[in-house]
Amino acid sequence: MNQPAAAPLAIHLRPEDNVAIASRGLREGEEIPVGKLAIKLNVRIGLGHKFALKAISKGSSILKYGQIIGFASEDIFPGDHVHVHNVSADHFSRDYAFCSDCPPPLPKPAEEKYFMGYDRGDGRYGTRNYIAIISTVNCSASTSKYITEKFNRTDLLKQYTNVDGVVAITHKAGCAMQYGGPDHNQLDLTLAGFGRHANVAAYILLGLGCETGQAMHLIENQNLIQLDGSKKRPKVISIQECGGIRKAVDAGVQAIAELLPRVNQFTRSKLTADKIILGTNCGGSDGNSGITANPALGVASDILISHGGISIIGETTEIYGAEHLLTRRAISREVGQKLVDRIKWWEWYTGIFGAEINNNPSPGNKDGGLTTIFEKSLGAIAKGGSTALTDVVGYSQPVKTKGFVVMDTPGYDPVSMTGIVAGGANVLVFTTGRGSVFGCKPAPSIKVATNSPMYHHMIDDMDINAGVILDGVPVEEVGREIFEEILAVASGKKTKSELNGVGEEEFAPWSIGPTL
């Protein structure tokens, strides 16, 4: 990296902002230069936290990123800490101004970029080569794991060096839901998304036998076929039909052994970067997420899109309060309205349970300096870069539209990323300020730290340090580093989460209805 400029003590993002963000811990009484101002701090300000640059009267707007992040719940004075004790997240009207700021397409780069991936020969392009054991119901979850454990105790995989492994896709659902209802169909869609995933060369369906989520319903509802080249229906194993767990485990290991030769025939080849579908998420966020890691990921997203790829953001509840900036970037009013419709649905959905979307940020987010959902959302959407919003899709829906796409997911990281991977993301980038250790097989997950102290403290779990931006390294430079890491990981480089064996327990389909 280039030699960074002198690191500022605090960051003032926009001229109209009435707060600045501490780029390190600041002492009470310390005088902080911010532009032409010198602000004497009335209290200690932690890394990522905000302090007032001017007097803000009770009821007035708090501005960060040039946008409203909340309202003063009491009079605030220059040098005061601006946080949950003196800021409220009151409702305010937003002008959606559909398509008013839709940017033109990015120019195609002069130099083509490539990665070494798996061409499945049917329009799918993988970055890993797995066999999956997909549980149709929680009742078969343990047996799925027993199959992978018994298989891993054999030496079979050593004979098939092109196979990355066998992964058990298990979950807590599959029964006690309306047959053919919204939860049933959405679970089918999500399971099918993992079965059809470009990083899964072949898969087995494993059920108990009496569950609501029957394997045959899944196969017929989603028109599933085995994608290892055989074009057959996937293998189905029923614990009850086999005669119990032990016999089902033996049948599963035998089925894997039969799949291995065909899966091993897939080898890496040189593919253009437009074959990458990038899934993005932020979790364990802090006050620097929207200043360092998320904008840098936005730069990487733009680069990928300029090469013809797809970049997905989810977490609709963490777009809330910033959706008006995305509707302005929509390629059509129809696309923008899709996003508004999902926002309105979330207001209704949380309301029927007596909840508020501003229950998010979490306690950890607040400890890291995030005050309201509006502030969190404005930082979160930075992951989506600056290109046009080309589509808005439902949870786990296959993502086909090139460019920047929003998928409607909850903000809870495992549930959100499960939907995005089911939608086709073959590489993930996950930004974190507090230190998430997230992984999600079969897609590799690149972890980007928002600040240097956490990066060094959790070095065995973090892949990239975007905290250097606080030291003066340009956002664009870190963004290019993230893009190059995406290519390297897509080509087979293992992420820290993969090296730590993380990724099987994080499969968490979204359940939207009652458990019966």
In the DSSP assignment, the letter for residue 172 is: S
Q: At what angle do helices 182-195 and 215-222 cross, to 10 degrees?
A: 80
pLDDT tens-digit series, residues 201-216: 999 999 999 999 999 9
Measured between alpha carbons, how far is 56 from 40 in angstroms, rounded to an integer?
16
Q: Where does the pLDDT of residue 228 fall: very low under 50, low under 70, confident under 90, or very high at 90 and above?
A: low
Q: Give the residue from 441, 443, 447 showing the smallest Cα distance to 501.
A: 441
- Beta-carbon count within 10 A of 22 CB: 25
Per-residue model confidence (pLDDT) at position 232: 79
pTM over 0.85: yes
Average pLDDT of 347-370? 87
* Class of CATH domain 125-264: alpha beta
CB of 315 closer than 8 Å to CB of 281: yes
Q: Is the pLDDT of residue 230 over 70?
A: no
Average pLDDT, the chain: 95
Asked if residues 508 and 465 have their Cβ atoms less than 8 Å apart, the reply is no
Rounded to 10 degrees, what is the CA torsion of 52, 58, 64, 68?
A: 180
pLDDT surpassing 90 at residue 52: yes
For residue 54, the SS3 value is coil
411, 385 contact by CB (below 8 A): no
Name the region of 478 (left: φ>0; alpha: ψ -120 to 50; beta: rest). Answer: alpha
**pLDDT bucket at 494, cuts 50 / 70 / 90:** very high
Of 258-267, 356-365, 429-438, least confident by mean pLDDT is 356-365
Burial of 57 (0-12, 13-18, 19+ CB in 10 A): exposed
Residue 113 token pair: 């970029």
Q: How far apart, in whole angstroms, are the C-alpha atoms of residue 377 and residue 375?
A: 5
What is the mean pLDDT of the segment spanning 429-451?
97
Task: Give percent of the chain with pLDDT exceeding 90.
Answer: 93
Query: Which H/E stretch holds residue 436?
Result: none
Q: Is the pLDDT of residue 5 over 60?
A: no
Confidence band for 357, pLDDT divided at 50, 70 and 90: confident
Element (H, E) at 12: none
HSE-CB for 34 with a 13 A CA cutoff: 27
What is the distance between the alpha carbons of residues 249 and 206, in angstroms, rounded to a whole number? Answer: 10
Distance separating alpha carbons of residues 254 and 236, to the nearest angstrom: 13
Sheet with 403-407, side-by-side order of all strands: 389-393, 403-407, 310-313, 277-282, 427-432, 445-449, 464-465
pLDDT per position as a tens digit, 103-123: 999 999 999 999 999 999 999
Quickly state the pLDDT bin for 383 (edges 50, 70, 90). Answer: very high
Q: Return the biggest CA–CA distance within the chain.
A: 77
* pLDDT at position 185 over 80: yes
Q: Domain segments of the chain: what residues?
A: 10-88, 125-264, 287-499
Residue 285: pLDDT above 80?
yes
Per-residue tokens: 230 = 């055989």
Res 227: pLDDT: 61
Name the class of domain 10-88.
mainly beta
pLDDT at residue 362 tops 90: no
Q: What is the DSSP letter of 76?
A: B
What string of DSSP letters covers 466-505?
GGGGGGT--HHHHHHHHHHHHHHHHTTPPPHHHHTT-SST
Q: Which residue has the higher pLDDT, 514 or 131?
A: 131
